[in-house]
Amino acid sequence: MKYLVINGVNLNLTGKREQSVYGTETLDDLNKKIAEYCEKNGDTVDFYQSNIEGEIVNKLHQAFLEKTCDAIILNAGAFTHYSYAIRDAIASINIPVAEVHISNVHAREQFRNTSVLSEVCKGVICGFGVGSYIGAIEALKNR
């Protein structure tokens, strides 16, 4: 399998921002663990991060139009809670997308309980740090 991991807004600051919520590992640290996991299983993985909503939409379109991957793991950050543009992009592509979050969004502020993306994703994993991404990879593989 070929996976694409997309991280959205503010995820570039992982390991530096709100460490009590998101931990001390950087996004590069997390990506390294995901890459090692994929390599061990004979899979390949690409990574993309952007703070710009439209760039994430473009990346989803590109994956579809150029068939760059078999499945997508998406942590859209705060875009999760209100981006109908990303939602429609996920609905437009015939690639399975898993929604993931480092933190348990259901144990936090009320606004994080709403995801406008979940309905068009294959599933959601949150609260397990890097394990959310690896769990999603495993789940997508076994679909």
State the minimum distance, in angstroms, from the CB of residue 129 to ligand DQA.
Answer: 9
State the minimum distance, in angstroms, from the CB of residue 112 to ligand DQA.
Answer: 4
Q: Which is nearer to ligand DQA, 31 or 103 (CB)?
A: 103
Q: Which is nearer to ligand DQA, 24 or 41 (CB)?
A: 24
Q: Check 81, 101, 106, 133 and give the catalytic one.
A: 101
Q: Which residues of this protein are in contact with ligand DQA, per CB under 6 A?
A: 10, 75, 77-78, 80, 101-103, 105, 112
Please enumerate in sequence order all residues whose Cβ is within 8 A of that of 76, keeping only pairs 6 or more positions apart, or say none: 6, 8, 9, 56, 83, 86, 99, 117
Is residue 121 within 8 A of residue 98, CB to CB? The reply is yes
Distance CA 127, CA 104 (A): 4
37 is catalytic: no
Kindly list the catalytic residues: 22, 101
